A and B are shown apart, each in its own frame.
Chain A
Amino acid sequence: MTTIDASRPIDLAARPDNYLTHSRGFLSWALTLDHKRIGVMYLVAVLASFLLGGIFALLLRTELLTPGQTIPGVTADVYNQFFTLHGAIMVFLVIIPSIPGALGNFVLPIMLGAKDVAFPRLNLGSFYLWIAGAIFTLLSLAMGGFDTGWTFYTPYSTTTSTGGVIPVLFGVFILGFSSIFTGMNFIVTVHKLRPPGMTWFRMPLFLWAIYATAIIQVLATPVLAITLMLIVVERLVNIGIFDPSMGGDPVLYQHFFWFYSHPAVYIMILPAMGIISELISVHAHRHIFGYRFIALSSIAIAIFSFLVWGHHMFTSGQSPLMNTLFSLISFSVAIPSAVKVFNWLTTLYKGNISLTTPMWYALSFLVLFTIGGLTGLHLATLNTDVHLHDTYFVVAHFHYVMMGSALIGMIGGMHHWWPKMTGRMYSEKLGTAACFVIFIGFNVTFFTQFYLGSQGMPRRYYDYLPEYQVYHVISTIGSYVMALGFVMTAYCLISSLFSGRKAPANPWGGGSLEWQCTSPPPHDNFATQPSVGDCYDFRSLRWDEKEQGYVVDPALAAEAAKHPLH
């Protein structure tokens, strides 16, 4: 049985109301408990932060066009603030909350056939904590900024004279709670609000990914919170925890920090992997290949993520024995990642592939994640990491994973669910063109940096030797191309709000429950709780020219029912 149910026809006339028109006025949004509206508010907030973080990225890439000063007024100190802000904004305000907060909030309850998440008030609370964290981060700019790098390594962070360190630490502390609350909410929602018939192994894979992410969020984030508070304590009352001049240990800080921040990498990438499982399956109209392996590999990644933090510290003075163990365990992450890539790839085999904009993003993800993942091998290997650690090779590697994979996955997901969220179709031509421009710009920017890093160019450098300049220039040009791609994407999506044609309920031919309610969904998602089957069975769907979307064909459904998939 498929999840799409022919006996539940979508009746627009009977439901003139949707979540966007359900109530009006500022307060109806500010105080809403509707997971869909909270998701939309998250989306707007995260994209605004992405714009800010992106501006800092362009500023620092422009500064690196020449050795020494390029932009008048941008001294080494200003540059140090640029890269710190770029990193902190992109990690804490953009990538970590983006998929769970924006897309997860919007889609997760609908995929479960539920009216909302388990704790709607806590959900709104998470959003306001995000706002509070963002305000503290901006406040730190007004108080002198901070130049510690997003990693806040001690003793630099406890001794630097920039005035914004304490506010931003509070900001990240608060953002951590936002993340924890979202995670708790999703764990409970997935456990308690699954509809009849949706066993664990019938959940859409996006939910498995969000669930695995939520576990990491809840378990790892408190460690970051307490660590950042210890820095605040050290700065304010001079208790020596990390500063050796007061009897502390700076390497202890690195352990604490990466105990959170390595799992945080998977907080960023796992939800994107979940999106890709949906995108590839839906747009290839083909049952996901090896469902169980993909689902369990998400859980495996969540578990391994807690055991590999020491690979950030191979040159820190950590003992060779520890380095050896961390190197060995780090390689274990390669296995579930490889399983996922091969299973996605096989999902294309004998599929019915539509080259839609979301599908182009999914294919971009496959290319970029493959490069990001493979270059992780150089960094997990002990002797090559010694050479590559803290060079542009690492910068390139994590941008391929954090941006090329996590963020591209998020933008792909945004294009996938945009018709559902807004009720409008965007121009697929423009959307696809933008995807190509971003893809090319991204590779020009960051592939060059693999070479720079291999050649020994250290990261976080304001000034550099002239022999590196040509590669910096190429990289900077790539970043401009990428910026152009994002401007095209923004234009494509925003203009669709005004001039896009009305979206059908199921524009792509998806099988999970969100494609069964109207676009945009009604306030309470489903009037009665739907029952579900296999959300990756697309056999009963066909393209309907009049609807300009996919509909359930009763004849196909009857035929499919005779031959159950297993």
Chain B
Amino acid sequence: MSTHLAISAASLAADAPSGATAWLPPPSSTIAPGVDMVFNGINAVCYFFFALIMVLMVYFVVKYRVRKGQAFRSDAPLHHLPLETTWAVVPLLIVVVMFYVGFRDYLNMSTPPKNAYVVKVTAVKWGWSFQYPTGATSDDLYVPAGRPVQLTMRSSDVLHSCYIPDFRVKKDLVPGRYSHLWFQADQPTPSGWGHNLFCTEYCGTGHSNMNRKVHVLPEAEFDAWLVEQGQWLDKIPDEELYFRAGPKIFARCQQCHSLDGTKGIGPSWKGIWARVNGGEGSGEKFADGTTYAGIIGPGKKYATPEDYLRNSILNPGSELVGGYGNAMPSFKGQLNDRAIDAVIGMMQHLDDFDPKTGASLKEAPPAAPLSMK
């Protein structure tokens, strides 16, 4: 049974995404069939011992049941050294084999090949950023088919964990150090469909919404995507930047910041442009007692409102809006100057956006580049 399943698992690797085995999702990376074979092998051992124990238990209970008042028999053995030694030694041998097959595969899983294509991964509460060697970034993960891919991962705040069930890989992202994970997916994913990528280390409010897709593209298509992805922000004309790029970037801010005044993990953007420009709300106090009007303006800490907003994105802890904790991660290295321009532009023209979703009302949303869902 186990070999049968293992063979079907191996053959299924070729035609993902359909055709999961009895227990596991379709194996879609080069290491997945090996994991599945071990999993199904352990299952077979479990089925055997479970059936053995259950059959004996039911048989004994039926056969040796007595009613009240019936005389007791007393011919049962008290102990049996050879038998007891057998059922200590046989499981020992079985688990040693299990350990070995799991270990052999695990060494392979934990050693990225030298020629792997490296993608840098940053996790924050509550989102992922994937950065490619060209400098392009994306929210979903895009990888070339048929080539080992190494994720070099770090976390900006608390523990996260990167888990791609179809690839059978998982690794924690630990703040303060880098961690690695590698896989090779040979089969490109259909257009518009991706493998699930989950966060599996509990990280608070948005933990269950840190799911993204992994798109596997044929090598040539991947290269083209990468070029397009590196340029999409630059290709937008300056005057259209805030309403075309803004909402896509805002998707990452949305977990914590609303546009309609709803209190979230962070303050709402509603009315922000007035606050930082000496208008309504500019007298509101920060946690340290200073006010917007007190720190923004010529000769003050921030000469222009844009300076203040830019610093709030790159060094979010330096001024805390009253009533909010220091929860925002820094977006240094993740948003370039043009992206920050787009965000500030959006804050400036909030009337142009749907207050619930953040979608642009200026025009029908343009066809999104691949990465931005």
| Chain A residues packing against B (C-beta within 8 Å) | 76-77, 80, 147, 149, 153, 155-156, 159-161, 244-245, 249-251, 284-287, 289-293, 315-317, 320, 323-324, 327-328, 331, 334-335, 338-339, 341-343, 345-346, 348-355, 363, 366-367, 370-371, 374-375, 377-378, 380-387, 389-391, 451, 454-456, 458-465, 538-539, 541-543, 545, 560, 565-566
Shortest CB–CB separation between residue B185 and chain A, in angstroms?
A: 15
Shortest CB–CB separation between residue B38 and chain A, in angstroms?
A: 6
Contacts of B285 in A (CB 8 A): none
A363 touches B57 (CB 8 A): yes
Residue among A315, A354, A464 with the most chain B CB within 10 A?
Answer: A315
B106 touches A354 (CB 8 A): no
B46 touches A390 (CB 8 A): no
Cα–Cα, bound, A236→B54 (Å): 54
Closest partner residue, chain B, to A545 (CB atom): B69
| Interface flag for B128 (CB, 8 Å) | no
Contacts of A287 in B (CB 8 A): 76, 78
Cα–Cα, bound, A155→B176 (Å): 11
Partner of B73, one of A245, A251, A352, A543: A352
Partner-contacting stretch, out of B113-121, B160-168, B305-313, B353-361: B160-168
A384 touches B42 (CB 8 A): yes
B199 touches A331 (CB 8 A): no
B198 touches A353 (CB 8 A): no
6 contacts between A and B (CB under 8 A): A315-B172, A335-B88, A339-B87, A382-B102, A386-B170, A387-B169
Cα–Cα, bound, A349→B46 (Å): 23
B interface residues, tally (CB under 8 Å): 88
Cα–Cα, bound, A353→B67 (Å): 8
B200 touches A389 (CB 8 A): yes
B91 touches A334 (CB 8 A): yes
Contacts of B78 in A (CB 8 A): 287, 289-291, 565-566
Contacts of A76 in B (CB 8 A): 205-208
A331 touches B98 (CB 8 A): yes
| Interface flag for B364 (CB, 8 Å) | no
Cα–Cα, bound, A472→B365 (Å): 36
Provided the pairs A331-B99, A383-B38 are in contact, do residues A153 and B202 lie with their beta carbons within 8 angstroms? Answer: yes
A456 touches B196 (CB 8 A): yes
Partner of B39, one of A374, A378, A455: A378
A465 touches B25 (CB 8 A): no
Partner of B96, one of A290, A331, A346: A331
B57 touches A366 (CB 8 A): yes
A331 touches B95 (CB 8 A): yes
B106 touches A386 (CB 8 A): yes
B98 touches A377 (CB 8 A): yes
Cα–Cα, bound, A563→B143 (Å): 77
Partner-contacting stretch, out of B58-66, B220-228, B236-244: B58-66
Provided the pairs A147-B204, A153-B159, A370-B50 are in contact, do residues A349 and B60 lie with their beta carbons within 8 angstroms? Answer: yes
| Interface flag for B68 (CB, 8 Å) | yes
B34 touches A335 (CB 8 A): no
Chain B, 132-180, CB within 8 A of any chain A CB? 157-159, 161, 163, 165-166, 168-172, 174-177, 179
| Interface flag for B203 (CB, 8 Å) | yes
| Interface flag for B71 (CB, 8 Å) | yes
Contacts of A285 in B (CB 8 A): 66, 72
B176 touches A249 (CB 8 A): yes
Contacts of B105 in A (CB 8 A): 382-383
Cα–Cα, bound, A367→B56 (Å): 12
Contacts of A354 in B (CB 8 A): 65-66, 68
| Interface flag for B74 (CB, 8 Å) | yes
Provided the pairs A156-B159, A327-B99 are in contact, do residues A381 and B23 lie with their beta carbons within 8 angstroms? Answer: no
Contacts of A353 in B (CB 8 A): 60-61, 64-66
Residue among A354, A386, A462 with the most chain B CB within 10 A?
Answer: A386
Partner of B25, one of A159, A382, A455: A455
Shortest CB–CB separation between residue B276 and chain A, in angstroms?
A: 25
Contacts of B211 in A (CB 8 A): 465
Shortest CB–CB separation between residue A337 and chain B, in angstroms?
A: 9
| Interface flag for B209 (CB, 8 Å) | yes
Cα–Cα, bound, A328→B100 (Å): 9
Contacts of A286 in B (CB 8 A): 64, 76
| Interface flag for B325 (CB, 8 Å) | yes
Contacts of B110 in A (CB 8 A): 320, 323
